[in-house]
């Protein structure tokens, strides 16, 4: 689904930190459908389903509760990045499943390719 990202995010020589930052920004923009700078529960649910149908129906609640550090029922970009950094390994697994042609090239994969 998001494998088109590789055309923008690669080459693998890109610095890992700026690469991650770029991925976070693209993911956040992808989730924030109405562009108000906050990902609410509905946007999160829709986004997770679009990314990977393996996310179960409570995933968005779990993520929102864990990531919404100021408890305003929405994720701003800083909260989103913090969550991804805290859960990077788990998210990598999820993103890896997006690699439909199994060429090892998708999200976060330059160091694996």
CB of 35 to Ca ion, least distance (A): 7
33 vs 90, beta carbon nearer Ca ion: 33
Q: Which residues contact 97 (CB under 8 A, 6 or more apart)?
A: 52, 54
Residue ranges in contact with Ca ion by CB under 5 A: 32, 34, 36, 38, 68, 70, 72, 79
Of 1 and 66, which CB lies nearer to Ca ion in the complex structure? 66
CB of 64 to Ca ion, least distance (A): 9
Percentage helix, strand, coil for the chain under 3-state DSSP, each rounded to 5: 55, 5, 45
* CB 25, min distance to Ca ion, A: 15
Instruction: Tell me: cis bond preceding 11? Omega within 30 of 0 counts.
Output: yes
Nearer to Ca ion, 73 or 93 (CB): 73
């Amino acid at each position: 689904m998001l494998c088109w990202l590789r055309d923008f995010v690669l080459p693998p020589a890109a610095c890992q930190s700026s690469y991650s930052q770029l991925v976070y920004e693209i993911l956040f923009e992808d989730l924030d459908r109405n562009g108000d700078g906050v990902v609410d529960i509905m946007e999160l649910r829709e986004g997770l389903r679009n990314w990977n149908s393996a996310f179960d129906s409570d995933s968005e609640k779990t993520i929102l509760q864990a990531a919404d550090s100021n408890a305003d029922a929405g994720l701003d970009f800083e909260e989103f990045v913090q969550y991804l950094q805290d859960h990077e390994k788990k998210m990598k697994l999820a993103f890896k499943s997006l690699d439909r042609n199994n060429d090892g090239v998708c999200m976060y994969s330059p160091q694996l390719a």
